[in-house]
């Protein structure tokens, strides 16, 4: 058997999360250029504020402003920043214990590698435009503040909103805390994953068949059910399905639904029919479109045939079949497909 | 309480990358065939099935459903799944056996870590509001934890290299080890830092893998196995979800789980720890309170092969195998989550208590 087929699968979700009263207070503080912790039952101040006391589970609402300066408890140098990181030049991961806090904040530190040390004093550098996100600031060494000039070039202020982009920029928030501004109640937290997706050996034979204009199923052996697309193993007993079988591009509608609802990415104007088609020679139906007839004429038992796209458009995909259309044959007898519903 | 034992264990080869699917069928089918043949049973002898895996690793929703094809689920089976290491699936199966509803269970876990960027994917386990948006990876957290321990005088870089060197040498005797090397700490300390201050040997390799265990209760266990590995203690605990509110140099959840599972008796022939980074082996030893002379990870452990979502189950399986081979009392640990937030300890013995 040939090597399995693989393809990149890039996933991206833009989660929108409600912040609630505790994280909401913290991220509203970030937007306003303030760092908040909260005092828990044993008297310690935790940053960020926990929603509940980690020891007792009591809701926490005793907010305490901390920092803005703090002390590095630990660090790790990141030589090659990745696209998901807040900075695009080498930086350090750091545990920063802000003044007035009893536990550290995990964040990033922009500075020279050789000045990093446990005990280093750091301060936040705030982004010009802040949305109430953890990336509204980065930390920089405090000593840089005392040694740098007050302002490099007032005629050409930094045009980027990346917080660490200009080491000469003033450290205080660009806008003062605004009591009138609404609290931050929602934040977007995008998440991306890149997977190299592998088809199974059996699925790969099926996909290669499609690229040749053939429909390939598989079974455990003669007389056993034919699965299309082929599965790695019989779902009945887990025995590998190693015998490939070509099935016809004609079949019977076993069940169907009429799509009336528009959705993102829809390629056909509703109403249209999505159906299960039991291909002749197969024992499990595949899902496909039924077109070239009014939606209200589609019925269980209707005989249909694949309408293939032009061969020049074929790939390793069931999209090579554009849709199924009625053959005009008499309907299949219910008994012929009742076990395949 | 019902006596419950591990009676069979199988695992897929540790490999940097399989060409199989992310649903694990190709790795699992041989494990199941191994177990059935070894125990002289068939699928229909299994009363309950429970698995552990992650959709984040597979990049698809409900990925574990496809793995059920490896079982053969017709007629319908009694089945469950945890989005955790399969050691926690074993815990669920153990509870099911304790109820008396079934007398056998098959537990399995799988993960194709090579399909994505594992270090980054594991970073997505962190708080999605205030930690994950920084893009922090698993190794970044481990590196910060390691330096915290260096600064506090809990260990030196040489101590970490000693852990790694011992693991690599131990793996020489493990036929299926992904990494094995006759090396000493001196040599390892000359190698480059990959996650400052950690070197490559301080970090786990990327491993595709799968594992499966059969549990059985009472007389059924005695029928299936000459010397069942009786679970005399099993407990799991979790630390706070507030990542930096935790003390990174302590593992209170592991301490509590170990206390409960050991029941006050520290005697052990060996301990199989699920600690992916070298310094975490030292942390876990201390958290459990292991005596100096208890061998840790005689197989090489996660530093020499770190299958995702089956690695903790495999620790239990390897501990059980030691009991099958004559050991009296062996501890197995499974950990998962950011910096081992969740910890499970099982104690396996040659005779039920």
The pLDDT assigned to A154 comes to: 40
Yes or no, beta carbons of A76 and B26 under 8 Å apart: no
CATH fold for domain B4-117+209-229: Peroxisomal Thiolase; Chain A, domain 1 (3.40.47)
Separation in Å, CA A183 to CA A163, A164, A174: 21, 25, 18
> Which residues of B, range 117-156, sit inside 8 Å of A by Cβ?
117, 120-121, 124, 128-136, 140-141, 143-145, 147-148, 151
Residues facing residue B171 across a β-bridge: none
B16 touches chain A (CB under 8 A): no
- Please tell me if residue B353 touches chain A, with a CB cutoff of 8 Å: no
CB B89 within 8 A of CB B82: yes
The residues with which A323 forms a beta bridge, in sequence order, are A307
| Beta-carbon separation of B72 and A4 below 8 A | no
* Cβ contact A23–B151 (<8 Å): no
Would the CB atoms of B130 and A50 count as touching at under 8 Å? no
Q: How confident is the model at residue B25 (pLDDT cuts 50, 70, 90)?
A: confident
Q: A301, A252 in Cβ contact below 8 A?
A: yes
What residues of chain A score a pLDDT lower than 70?
A: 1, 144-180
User: Does B43 touch chain A if contact means CB atoms closer than 8 Å?
Assistant: yes
| Contacting residues of A for B68, CB less than 8 Å apart | 235
Spatial distance between the Cα atoms of B12 and A38, rounded to a whole number of angstroms:
48
Distance set, CA A188 to CA A18, A220, B130 (Å)? 9, 48, 11
Rounded CA-CA distance A96/A94 in Å is 6
Q: Which residue has the tokens 């190794």?
A: B139
pLDDT tens figures, B41-91: 998 999 999 999 999 998 888 888 877 876 777 778 899 999 999 999 999
Nearest to A86 among B130, B134, B195 (CB): B134
Decide: B81 and B52 in contact? Cβ < 8 Å: yes
Q: Helices B278-288 and B138-151, interaxial angle, to 10°?
A: 60
Judged by CB atoms closer than 8 Å, whether chains meet at A238 and B121 is answered as no
- Integer Cα distance of B252 and B152 in angstroms: 18
Whole-angstrom distance, CA of residue B14 vs CA of residue B176: 6
CA distance B145 to chain A (A): 8
Judge contact between B4 and B98, C-beta under 8 A. Answer: yes
Give SS3 for A17. Answer: strand
Instruction: Write B220-227 long-range contacts (CB < 8 A, 24+).
Output: B220/B103, B220/B104, B221/B3, B221/B4, B221/B5, B221/B7, B224/B7, B224/B8, B224/B39, B224/B40, B224/B41, B224/B104, B225/B5, B225/B7, B225/B8, B225/B39, B225/B324, B226/B324, B227/B323, B227/B324, B227/B326, B227/B350
With beta carbons less than 8 A apart as the criterion, state whether A259 and A270 touch.
Answer: yes
| Chain A residues near residue B60 by CB distance under 8 angstroms | 9, 197
Q: Where exactly are the structural domains of chain B?
A: 4-117+209-229
ipTM of the complex: 0.93
Residue B198 to residues A78, B152, B195, Cα–Cα distance (Å)? 12, 16, 5
3-state helix vs strand vs coil in chain A, percent to 5: 15, 35, 50
Residues from chain A contacting residue B67 (CB–CB below 8 Å): none
B58 and A135: CB-CB below 8 Å? no
Which of A177-191, B165-179, B200-214, B331-345 has the lowest average pLDDT? A177-191
Determine the 3-state secondary structure of A193 from DSSP.
Answer: strand
Residues 6+ apart with CB under 8 A from B192: B199, B200
Q: Could you tell me which residues come within 8 angstroms of residue A337 by beta carbon, excluding any fewer than 6 positions away? A: A252, A254, A278, A300, A301
**What CA–CA distances, in Å, run from A291 to A297, A298, A306, A329?**
10, 9, 10, 16
Residues 235-264 of A with CB under 8 A from B: 235-240
Closest chain B C-alpha to A325 CA, distance in angstroms: 31
Closest residue in A to B119 (Cα) is A193
CA A331 to chain centre: 44
Cβ-defined contact of A239 to B72 (cutoff 8 Å): yes
- DSSP characters over A258-318: EE-S--TT--SPSSEEEEEEEETT-SS-EEEEE-SS-GGG--TT-EEEEEEPPGGG--SSG
Kindly determine whether residue A235 and residue B195, on different chains, have CB atoms separated by under 8 Å: no
CA distance to partner chain B, nearest, from residue A159 (Å): 22
Identify the DSSP state of B340: S
Distance between CA A289 and CA B241 in Å, rounded? 47
CA distance A123 to A96: 9
The answer to whether B140 contacts A78, with C-beta atoms less than 8 Å apart, is yes
Those residues whose C-beta lies under 8 Å from the C-beta of residue A186, and which sit 6 or more positions away, are A16, A17, A18, A19
B151·A73 Cβ contact <8 A: yes
User: How many other CB atoms are found less than 10 A from the CB of residue A90?
Assistant: 14
Report the distance separating Cα B315 and Cα B300, nearest Å: 11
| Residue A25: per-residue pLDDT | 95
When CB atoms are compared, the residue of A9, A235, A240 closest to B73 is A235
Strand partners, B178: none
Query: From the CA of A292, how many Å to the nearest CA of chain B?
Result: 34
Asked if A189 and B128 come within 8 Å (Cβ–Cβ), the reply is: yes
Q: Does A131 touch chain B (CB under 8 A)?
A: no
Flag the least confident range among A117-131, B13-27, B148-162, B317-331. Answer: B13-27
Give the whole-angstrom CA distance, residue A165 versus residue A157: 11
Parallel, antiparallel, or unpaired: how do β-strands B48-52 and B79-82 relate? parallel
If you ran DSSP here, which 8-state letter would residue A217 be given? Answer: E
Structure tokens at B197: 């201050």
Q: Which region among A233-242, B48-57, B139-148, B326-335 has the lowest average model confidence (pLDDT)? A: A233-242
């Amino acid at each position: 058997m040939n090597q399995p087929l693989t393809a990149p699968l890039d996933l991206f979700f833009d989660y929108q999360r409600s912040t609630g009263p505790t994280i909401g207070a913290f991220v509203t503080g970030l937007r306003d250029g303030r760092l908040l912790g909260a005092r828990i039952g044993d008297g310690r101040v935790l940053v960020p504020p926990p929603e509940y006391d980690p020891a007792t589970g009591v809701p926490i609402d005793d907010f305490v402003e901390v920092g803005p300066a703090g002390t590095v408890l630990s660090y790790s140098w990141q030589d090659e920043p990745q696209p998901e990181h807040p900075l695009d030049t080498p930086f350090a991961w750091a545990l920063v214990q802000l003044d007035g806090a009893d536990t550290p904040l995990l964040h990033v530190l922009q500075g020279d590698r050789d000045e990093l040390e446990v005990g280093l004093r750091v301060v936040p550098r705030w982004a010009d435009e802040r949305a109430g996100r953890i990336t509204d600031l980065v930390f920089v060494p405090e000593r840089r503040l005392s040694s740098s000039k007050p302002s490099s070039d007032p005629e050409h202020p930094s045009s980027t909103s990346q917080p660490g982009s200009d080491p000469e920029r003033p450290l205080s928030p660009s806008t003062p805390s605004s009591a009138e501004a609404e609290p931050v109640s929602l934040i977007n937290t995008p998440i991306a994953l890149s997977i190299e997706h592998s088809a199974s050996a059996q699925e790969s034979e099926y996909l290669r068949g499609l690229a040749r204009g053939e429909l390939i199923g598989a079974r455990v052996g003669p007389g056993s059910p034919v699965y299309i697309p082929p599965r790695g193993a019989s779902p009945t007993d887990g025995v590998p399905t190693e015998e490939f079988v070509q099935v016809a591009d004609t079949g019977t509608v076993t069940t169907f639904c009429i799509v009336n609802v528009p959705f993102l990415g829809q390629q056909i104007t509703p109403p249209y029919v999505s159906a299960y088609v039991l291909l002749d020679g197969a024992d499990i139906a595949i899902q496909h479109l039924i077109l070239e007839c009014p939606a209200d004429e589609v019925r269980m038992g209707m005989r249909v045939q694949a309408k293939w796209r032009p061969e020049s458009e074929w790939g390793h995909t069931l999209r090579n079949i554009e849709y199924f259309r009625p053959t005009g044959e008499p309907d299949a007898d219910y008994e012929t497909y009742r076990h395949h519903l | 309480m019902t006596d419950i034992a591990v009676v069979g264990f199988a695992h897929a080869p540790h490999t940097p990358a399989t060409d199989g699917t992310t649903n694990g069928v190709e790795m699992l089918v041989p494990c199941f065939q191994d177990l059935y043949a070894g125990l002289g049973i068939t699928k229909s002898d299994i009363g309950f099935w429970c698995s552990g895996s992650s959709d984040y690793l597979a990049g698809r929703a409900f990925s574990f459903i496809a793995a059920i094809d490896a079982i053969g689920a017709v007629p319908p089976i009694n089945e469950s799944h945890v989005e955790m290491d399969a050691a926690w699936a074993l815990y669920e199966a153990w509870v099911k056996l304790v109820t008396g509803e079934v007398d056998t269970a098959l537990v399995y876990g799988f993960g194709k870590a090579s399909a994505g960027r594992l270090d980054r994917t594991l970073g997505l386990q962190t708080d999605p509001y205030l930690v994950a948006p920084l893009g922090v990876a698993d190794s970044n957290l481990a590196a910060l934890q390691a330096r915290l321990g260096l600064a506090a005088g809990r260990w030196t870089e040489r101590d970490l290299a000693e852990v790694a060197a011992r693991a690599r040498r131990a793996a020489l005797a493990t036929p299926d080890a992904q990494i094995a090397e006759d090396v000493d700490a001196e040599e390892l300390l000359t190698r480059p830092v990959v996650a400052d201050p950690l070197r490559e040997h301080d970090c786990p390799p990327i491993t595709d893998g799968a594992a499966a265990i059969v549990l059985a209760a009472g007389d059924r266990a005695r029928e299936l196995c000459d010397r069942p590995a009786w679970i005399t203690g099993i407990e799991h605990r979790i630390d706070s979800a507030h990542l930096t509110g935790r003390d990174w140099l302590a593992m209170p959840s592991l301490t509590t789980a170990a206390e409960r599972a050991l029941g006050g008796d520290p005697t052990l022939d060996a301990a199989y720890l699920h600690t992916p980074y070298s310094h975490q082996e030292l942390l876990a030893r201390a958290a459990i309170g292991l005596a100096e002379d208890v061998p840790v990870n005689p197989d090489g452990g996660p530093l020499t092969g770190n299958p995702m979502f089956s690695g903790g189950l495999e620790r239990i399986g390897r501990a059980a195998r030691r009991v099958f081979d004559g050991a009296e009392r062996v501890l197995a640990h499974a950990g998962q989550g950011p910096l081992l937030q969740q910890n499970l300890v099982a104690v396996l013995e040659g005779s039920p208590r």
